[in-house]
Copies of this chain bind each other. A is one copy, B any other.
């Protein structure tokens, strides 16, 4: 299999709930006005706590500093696994499950923090630029590694980066067991033709920027067991949307599409306290048992918590699996 280090230098930022309106102007530009910006990697995820915005340096320039914006200090690089037909795995599972054993687990063992961003199209594994040499050293046996540079794929060899492994290599992964939350919402992972993005503009703007103000005449029987979670990304021209079925009903039915019609996902939110960015092995802890059971999963990290999405029919076995893991780790 091939591993591509993509040609994007990313920042991970967070906008407070009350601060979002101050960023309406740059965010609408980044989402809808592609010919006004050079930003090629943009992702915005709303959670109950805040808005996580991951974007490249061109996009980051648009976000003026303010008390409402928090910025993680590092530059992150997105990695991407491409099956080149020779994949040895017989797994039918998709998402983070496919890369759990080959990428996530080895990186966790080498104490490399990862920030995951699954989209409709693929799964981006974000690693800190400073960890790149360790990453290459760790993954070079399993993968042909390429670095994308100005549209070309340049092979990367491990001798280019030999001093990293010593630094992170020998540490034992931290084994905190984080509490999980399993909300009642059902989620869809969707896409649309980027040329039809204007057709959903007002709905998307409404959902992203105004959904916290009560709608005139709307009923207020909100299910307290549901969680607010909405993710939009526009990466290299591809749109991906993750939303619950309540949000989905607001969009025109004929424009958004899922990979298999009617496929719904349940969420496992990881973390009782905000997770931070330094702990390693969080993704591994949940993706390993999913891989063992061949259960597909999307995985979306945010500024505060991590979120795995599993097929709704598998949620019971995932819950049992997590309980078992919990007992084993605490014994």
Contact = CB atoms under 8 A, between A and B. Distances in A.
Contacts of A217: 35
A29 B22 CA distance: 14
A209 interface: yes
A131 B201 CA distance: 43
A216 interface: yes
A93 interface: no
A161 interface: no
Contact of A205 (B28, B203, B213): B28
Contacts of A198: 199, 201-203
Given A198-B199, A198-B201, A198-B202, A28 B213 contact: no
A33 interface: yes
Interface in A196-230: 197-199, 201-203, 205-206, 209-210, 213, 215-217
The majority secondary structure among interface residues of chain A is helix
A249 interface: no
Nearest to A218: B35
Sorting the interface of chain A by its residue count into under 10, 10 to 19, 20 to 34 or 35 or more gives 20 to 34
B216 A28 contact: no
A92 to B, nearest CB: 39
A245 interface: no
A38 interface: yes
Contacts of A25: 21-22, 24-25, 209
Contacts of A22: 22, 25
Contact of A33 (B26, B36, B206): B206
Interface string A1-41: 00000000000000000000110111011001101111000
Contacts of A216: 35-38
Given A29-B210, A32-B206, 13 more contacts: A22-B22, A22-B25, A24-B25, A24-B28, A28-B209, A33-B210, A35-B217, A36-B206, A36-B216, A197-B202, A198-B199, A199-B199, A201-B205
Interface of A: 21-22, 24-26, 28-29, 32-33, 35-38, 197-199, 201-203, 205-206, 209-210, 213, 215-217
